Structure 1
Amino acid sequence: MTASSDFKPRSAWTMTILLTGLALINFLDKVVIGVVAVPMTKDLGLSHAQFGLVAGSFFWLFSLSTILVGLIANRVPTRWTLLAMGIAWAVLQIPQALTASVFALLMCRVLLGAAEGPFMPTTVHALYKWFPDKKRSLPVAIVSQGAGLGLLMAGLLIPLVTARYGWRTNFFLLGAVGVVWSVLWLCFGREGNLDVKPAAVLTQSAAPAPRRTLCKTFADPSVLCVLMLGFSAYWSLSLLFTWLPTYLEKGLGYANVEAGRLFALVIIAATPINLGLSWLSQTLLERGVGTRTARVKLISIAFLVSGVIYVLPLLIDLTHMQKVLLMAVGAGLPTVAFAIAPALLAEVVPDRQRGATLAFYTAIGSLGGAISPAVMGGIVQKGSSMTAACELGFATCSILVVLAALLALRWLNPDRSKQALAASAIPTQSSAA
């Protein structure tokens, strides 16, 4: 029995829909602090630098928890890991709603980040148990659009809730939504089986496959390039959901509700970009185009275009709406990494290392998410103009995405890496005998 004969489309897409809902909650949790930034900082007396620190603190334990969960990802069913996450996220909303000090808010964000860190690698690992390799880009992209939908809802609904009921009410609502999803997942969530080899295949194998260490895997040029792609994509995304609302409101002068709508516009634009590029990549693969073109070159071109767009507001005179539209495209292009980069890793690493490798990918990538809000906060704090300072901060993304694209074009070659890592594999004791 092959992986393709085990593929169950109906069940696979049901899990995709449920996990898209969890992604929506995940990004609502992340972005809420950026959308309520203006009333919250006023209420708690936060400076720009303090807000940047609090926003970035979400990622302080993000990487550590991601790695720890990733190391046990192949030993614990993803069904129960994801359920534990959903419950933890819901519970941790309550202290954020009740906090009255900078330190308490910071600690709440640190703990929530630790609980949410393993979400993406665990989700991708769970989906890969339902979809074969050539069908993986689109479902991961759709789950990523749960994130986009969360950002869209944040831009449209959170300002309205804040205006009518106060910024704290948003956290209570997020807790309630998390409880509803957890109940649905408990009832309908299941574990995929594409990675499970039939017993007959195992008994007929002449010898166990050789293994390779994680150190050798992470020293591979292709793996390192994917890590760089993830780092720069997280840097860009974190700036988007923590500082874009403030830039729109205080930099460009839009009213709170109007700024929320424009924030939603940026998110809406990112959705067809991500889905379109992911669909294109998957279509090329299914038509026999090599992964070097269908995945590596495609993602590199997207990053290069994004890098150019990010610096344009500093180079030419633009209207406020032109800046918003450019930001929509420039911020949307790097998000394709969240769909394609994990698939590139899955091509190179063996199934038994996939959970841990995806966890390290997310952990290293999320460091960009931890650093970028604080860097932006420092730039804004020292800048004389909110508009110019924010645009300079957003332009930091151009350096990273262009560098990541050039490195990928030069050294990211999954076919070559598979051969190199296979040659360096360590025989198991039984095979060596």
Structure 2
Amino acid sequence: MNDHTRYQPRMAWLITAMMLCFMLVNFLDKVVLGMVAVPLMAELHLSPARFGLVAGAFYWFFSLSTVLVGLIVDRIATRWLLLVMGIGWACLQIPIAFAGGVASIIICRVLLGIAEGPAFPVSVHAVYKWFPDDRRNLPVAVIAQGAGLGLVLAGFLIPAISAHWGWRANFIVLAAAGTAWSLMWVCFGSEGTLRDGARPAFGLAATHAGESQRLPWQKLLLDRSVVLLFLMGFCAYWLLGVTLTWVPAYLEKGLGFDSMAAGRWYAVVTVAGMPCTLIMSALSQRLLRRGVVTRVARAWVACGCMAVGALLLGVLVTAPLPATFKPLLLAFASSMPGVAVTLSPVMLGEIVPFSQRGACLSFFTAFGNIAGLVAPMVMGLFVQHYGADDVRGYEAGLLSGGALLAVVSVAGFCWLDPARSRAALLCSSARSVATA
């Protein structure tokens, strides 16, 4: 067995652990500005509107950079790309720590957003090079837990650092964290050599090193399963965007919890998705390795979780439930779509040619992040219509997300079939080669 088909479990899981830490640092970088908002605004004399401008700067070119890096990620070794990203994250924290005004913070946050936009697709692409197709569900789920771990760690670490050394010290700590990860990656990081050798190559024959023929992007991105996977990611990121921005206010203003209780419930909502994603991904992988077809083992599992999430959100909004029960229901409802964020990239990796996989994963993340930008604004319109202290505004916004989940999950049950899409693209590629 050659290097392109040999699975090395020890090294594969080491790389997965490194990617978990990579995403943990990524989410710490994302949330730190919001968690130091009060002292930062006081020291720099910022109005809420001005702070909103500063906070939003991180996302100005986030999706654009994800797409642009996606176009080159299949041509550059992920080992070096990840190293450049890690070093860039670390370096961009230092100027914020010593910033004397808003302009320098905005510039650094814009550049940080550009550097961090491609983090998830590049890390997934790197791990795919170490795992065969039927073993990818669980490692991708593990990588995704970096987000939850980062949020939990931020909740404990950032307030403590701010209390002892001031808000600026957080950015020094994050610079050190980025530097430490980069040094570890230099020591232990390596490029995977698995090239989907167990699957038939696109075209009449594979090229050297297991590379497969490239397909026209129009044909690939308009494939029925690919479109549905992008929509599933969009729905999952929609609910994630609402969770990160409006759920704390919903718990405190809408449900009437005090700030401490709201904080504890928010931690429950955030953490609930971690075991759910791991369990359902492991179940999907177990089904797959027992010979269950991909449409059932991956597509129906992901669509089923989205449908359950939609149902729970409907119950949350329409049933006469006590306030103490609603956060628990929200925790389970918001955890379900996270399974789609894990399984959708795995199904994309199954469908698309190896030579276009990294780009397609980046497009998936960029499209999902559009929902992360739009969803908080839509939620804000509902809240503004009913009033910030009226629970109906928050729950109307949650119900809109549930409606999206319901529609896309039904479409997925009906038409999402990765194996069929791969076969159709394979035949199309073969015909193109034969007529060339």
Q: Aligned in 2, Cα 1:113/1:186: closer, same or farther, shift over 3 Å?
A: same
Equivalent residues in 2 for 1:223-234 (5 A)?
223-234=226-237
- d(CA) in 2 for partners of 1:32, 1:186: 26
Partner of 1:296: 299
Partner of 2:222: 219
SS in structure 2 opposite 1:227? helix
Cα deviations by residue, 1:165-204 (Å, 9 ceiling, x for unpaired): 444443332222111111111111110000287xxx9xx9
Q: Aligned in 2, Cα 1:320/1:206: closer, same or farther, shift over 3 Å?
A: closer
2:121 paired with 1:121:
yes
Partner of 1:372: 375
Q: Structure 2 stretches of 5 or more lacking a match?
A: none
- d(CA) in 2 for partners of 1:65, 1:142: 24
Cα deviations by residue, 1:396-420 (Å, 9 ceiling, x for unpaired): 3212222221221122111221122
- d(CA) in 2 for partners of 1:84, 1:327: 38
Identical aligned residues as a percent:
46
Contact 2:5–2:195, Cα closer than 8 Å, also in 1? no
- d(CA) in 2 for partners of 1:150, 1:139: 17
- d(CA) in 2 for partners of 1:206, 1:227: 27
Contact 2:4–2:193, Cα closer than 8 Å, also in 1? no
SS in structure 1 opposite 2:131? coil
Partner of 1:407: 411
Moved more, 336-345 or 154-163: 154-163
Contact 1:271–1:332, Cα closer than 8 Å, also in 2? yes
Contact 1:55–1:373, Cα closer than 8 Å, also in 2? no
Please state how far the C-alpha of 1:384 moved relative to its aligned partner. 1.7
Contact 2:214–2:355, Cα closer than 8 Å, also in 1? no
2:422 paired with 1:422:
no
Given candidates 336, 353, 358, the residue that maps to 1:355 is: 358
Contact 1:55–1:242, Cα closer than 8 Å, also in 2? no
Contact 1:132–1:194, Cα closer than 8 Å, also in 2? yes
Cα deviations by residue, 1:320-357 (Å, 9 ceiling, x for unpaired): 43222122111111111222001111111111111111
Contact 2:5–2:194, Cα closer than 8 Å, also in 1? no
Q: Aligned in 2, Cα 1:108/1:383: closer, same or farther, shift over 3 Å?
A: farther
TM-score (norm 1): 0.88
- d(CA) in 2 for partners of 1:40, 1:372: 26
- d(CA) in 1 for partners of 2:95, 2:247: 25
Cα deviations by residue, 1:17-37 (Å, 9 ceiling, x for unpaired): 111001111112223344445
TM-score (norm 2): 0.87
Please state how far the C-alpha of 1:106 moved relative to its aligned partner. 5.0
Contact 1:56–1:369, Cα closer than 8 Å, also in 2? no
- d(CA) in 2 for partners of 1:97, 1:338: 33
Contact 2:247–2:266, Cα closer than 8 Å, also in 1? yes
- d(CA) in 1 for partners of 2:386, 2:25: 34
Q: Number of aligned pairs?
A: 427
Contact 1:230–1:337, Cα closer than 8 Å, also in 2? yes
Q: Aligned in 2, Cα 1:26/1:296: closer, same or farther, shift over 3 Å?
A: same
Q: Aligned in 2, Cα 1:153/1:187: closer, same or farther, shift over 3 Å?
A: same
- d(CA) in 2 for partners of 1:53, 1:396: 26
Q: Aligned in 2, Cα 1:42/1:247: closer, same or farther, shift over 3 Å?
A: farther
Amino acid at match of 2:324: M
